[in-house]
Amino acid sequence: MAEVDFPESDLLIVMGTSLAVQPFASLIDRPPHKCARLLINREVVGERKRGGMSSLLAMLMGGSSRGGFRFSSPGNQRDVKFIGDVEDGVKELVRLLGWEKELEELQAGEIGTL
């Protein structure tokens, strides 16, 4: 599934994770470079480290050769972070997209089925 979905993705949302467990941690590097990546988390994770281990060594240890999020890198146009509770981050994303009404309707429908 990842081989089909990731090349076609426009946005990758990563939330509520330490990105410490493979193979999940390396998935952030699977989408194409045109794909925006959003981290919603209590702390910054998965950020590219400068001066870290070599790409080959990182790959051998189960990591990625591409290096993760590049929040602070000059020229970064794809990686964005919201640091805080996941619920607050999702609410902010919904607000920015103008989807509050749709979310309220979805939540009301879910509560009605409980």
Residues 25 and 56 in one domain: yes
**Beta-carbon count within 10 A of 3 CB:** 7
Residues 50 and 91 in one domain: no
Please report, for residues 35, 77, 109, 112, the alpha-carbon distance to residue 32 in angstroms, rounded to integers and kept in the order given: 6, 13, 35, 40
Whether the predicted pLDDT of 114 surpasses 70: no
Residues 91 and 63 in one domain: no
The structural domain count of the chain equals 2
**Beta-carbon count within 10 A of 95 CB:** 11
The pLDDT score that the predictor gives to residue 71 is 94
Residue 108's domain spans which residues? 87-114
Global pTM? Answer: 0.79
Q: Is 77 helix (H, G, I), strand (E, B) or coil?
A: coil
Percent of the chain predicted with pLDDT > 70: 81
Residues whose CB is less than 8 angstroms from the CB of residue 17 and which lie 6 or more positions away in sequence, other chains included: 24, 41, 45
What's the CATH number where 72 sits?
A: 3.40.50.1220
Mean pLDDT, range 3-10, rounded to an integer = 88
**Per-residue pLDDT tens over the stretch 57-94:** 444 544 444 579 999 999 999 999 999 999 999 999 99
- Burial of 69 (C-beta count, 10 Å sphere; 0-12/13-18/19+): buried
**Per-residue pLDDT tens over the stretch 15-60:** 999 999 988 888 999 999 999 999 999 999 999 876 544 444 444 5
